[in-house]
Protein backbone atom coordinates (compact mmCIF):
# COMPACT_ATOMS: atom_id res chain seq x y z
CA UNK A 1 0.00 0.00 0.00
CA UNK A 2 2.84 2.39 0.82
CA UNK A 3 4.45 1.69 -2.57
CA UNK A 4 1.20 2.75 -4.26
CA UNK A 5 1.05 5.97 -2.22
CA UNK A 6 4.67 6.79 -3.04
CA UNK A 7 4.03 6.12 -6.74
CA UNK A 8 0.92 8.32 -6.71
CA UNK A 9 2.77 11.09 -4.90
CA UNK A 10 5.66 10.88 -7.36
CA UNK A 11 3.23 10.93 -10.29
CA UNK A 12 1.53 14.00 -8.82
CA UNK A 13 4.82 15.83 -8.36
CA UNK A 14 5.91 15.02 -11.93
CA UNK A 15 2.52 16.13 -13.27
CA UNK A 16 2.71 19.39 -11.31
CA UNK A 17 6.23 19.98 -12.60
CA UNK A 18 5.11 19.45 -16.20
CA UNK A 19 2.20 21.89 -15.77
CA UNK A 20 4.51 24.54 -14.30
CA UNK A 21 6.96 24.00 -17.15
CA UNK A 22 4.15 24.32 -19.72
CA UNK A 23 2.86 27.49 -18.01
CA UNK A 24 6.31 29.10 -18.12
CA UNK A 25 6.72 28.11 -21.77
CA UNK A 26 3.24 29.48 -22.57
CA UNK A 27 4.18 32.85 -21.09
CA UNK A 28 7.14 32.89 -23.47
CA UNK A 29 4.74 31.93 -26.32
CA UNK A 30 6.59 28.74 -27.20
CA UNK A 31 4.33 27.17 -29.83
CA UNK A 32 5.03 23.53 -28.99
CA UNK A 33 4.18 24.13 -25.33
CA UNK A 34 0.58 24.91 -26.18
CA UNK A 35 0.24 21.62 -28.04
CA UNK A 36 1.97 19.62 -25.30
CA UNK A 37 -0.20 21.29 -22.64
CA UNK A 38 -3.29 20.42 -24.67
CA UNK A 39 -2.27 16.76 -24.91
CA UNK A 40 -1.37 16.58 -21.21
CA UNK A 41 -4.62 18.35 -20.32
CA UNK A 42 -6.72 16.00 -22.43
CA UNK A 43 -5.05 12.94 -20.90
CA UNK A 44 -5.52 14.39 -17.42
CA UNK A 45 -9.19 15.20 -18.05
CA UNK A 46 -9.93 11.68 -19.30
CA UNK A 47 -8.10 10.12 -16.35
CA UNK A 48 -9.80 12.35 -13.78
CA UNK A 49 -13.22 11.77 -15.33
CA UNK A 50 -12.63 8.01 -15.06
CA UNK A 51 -11.65 8.46 -11.40
CA UNK A 52 -14.68 10.66 -10.84
CA UNK A 53 -17.01 8.05 -12.32
CA UNK A 54 -15.39 5.46 -10.07
CA UNK A 55 -15.92 7.73 -7.06
CA UNK A 56 -19.57 8.27 -7.95
CA UNK A 57 -20.13 4.54 -8.41
CA UNK A 58 -18.41 3.84 -5.10
CA UNK A 59 -20.51 6.41 -3.23
CA UNK A 60 -23.87 5.52 -4.78
CA UNK A 61 -23.32 1.77 -4.54
CA UNK A 62 -22.38 -0.28 -1.53
CA UNK A 63 -18.74 -0.38 -2.58
CA UNK A 64 -17.35 1.98 0.07
CA UNK A 65 -17.40 1.38 3.81
CA UNK A 66 -18.73 4.33 5.82
CA UNK A 67 -15.27 4.98 7.23
CA UNK A 68 -13.91 5.69 3.74
CA UNK A 69 -16.91 7.55 2.32
CA UNK A 70 -15.61 11.00 3.31
CA UNK A 71 -12.25 10.25 1.68
CA UNK A 72 -13.99 9.27 -1.54
CA UNK A 73 -16.05 12.47 -1.46
CA UNK A 74 -12.87 14.56 -1.02
CA UNK A 75 -11.14 12.66 -3.82
CA UNK A 76 -14.16 13.13 -6.07
CA UNK A 77 -14.23 16.86 -5.32
CA UNK A 78 -10.54 17.18 -6.15
CA UNK A 79 -11.02 15.25 -9.39
CA UNK A 80 -13.99 17.43 -10.38
CA UNK A 81 -12.02 20.60 -9.58
CA UNK A 82 -9.09 19.36 -11.69
CA UNK A 83 -11.40 18.72 -14.65
CA UNK A 84 -12.93 22.21 -14.40
CA UNK A 85 -9.54 23.93 -14.11
CA UNK A 86 -7.99 21.86 -16.92
CA UNK A 87 -10.87 22.66 -19.26
CA UNK A 88 -10.58 26.36 -18.40
CA UNK A 89 -6.82 26.32 -19.06
CA UNK A 90 -7.26 24.58 -22.40
CA UNK A 91 -9.96 27.02 -23.47
CA UNK A 92 -7.75 29.96 -22.50
CA UNK A 93 -4.79 28.48 -24.38
CA UNK A 94 -6.75 28.40 -27.63
CA UNK A 95 -8.64 31.70 -27.49
CA UNK A 96 -8.17 33.97 -30.52
CA UNK A 97 -6.44 36.55 -28.32
CA UNK A 98 -3.98 33.90 -27.14
CA UNK A 99 -3.29 32.88 -30.73
CA UNK A 100 -2.71 36.53 -31.61
CA UNK A 101 -0.23 36.80 -28.71
CA UNK A 102 1.64 33.72 -29.92
CA UNK A 103 1.77 35.14 -33.46
CA UNK A 104 2.98 38.54 -32.23
CA UNK A 105 5.75 37.00 -30.15
CA UNK A 106 6.80 34.74 -33.03
CA UNK A 107 6.87 37.75 -35.37
CA UNK A 108 8.97 39.73 -32.90
CA UNK A 109 11.39 36.80 -32.58
CA UNK A 110 11.70 36.59 -36.36
CA UNK A 111 12.54 40.29 -36.62
CA UNK A 112 15.06 40.09 -33.81
CA UNK A 113 16.82 37.15 -35.44
CA UNK A 114 16.87 38.71 -38.90
CA UNK A 115 20.45 39.47 -39.99
CA UNK A 116 19.53 42.84 -41.54
Range of the domain at 98: 2-113
For the chain, what is the domain count?
1
pTM of the model: 0.78
Q: What are the tens digits of pLDDT across the range 61-104?
A: 766 666 667 777 888 888 899 999 999 999 999 999 999 999 99
Instruction: Give the integer Cα–Cα distance in Å for 76 and 111.
Output: 49
* Cα pseudo-dihedral 62, 68, 69, 71, rounded to 10: -140
Instruction: Give the integer Cα–Cα distance in Å for 102 and 40.
Output: 19
Instruction: Give the integer Cα–Cα distance in Å for 49 and 68.
Output: 20
Residue 113's pLDDT band, with cuts at 50, 70 and 90, is: low
Amino acid sequence: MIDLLVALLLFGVVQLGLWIWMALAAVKAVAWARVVATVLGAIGIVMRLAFLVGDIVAITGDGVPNALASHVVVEGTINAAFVVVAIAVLVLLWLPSTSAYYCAVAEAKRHRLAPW
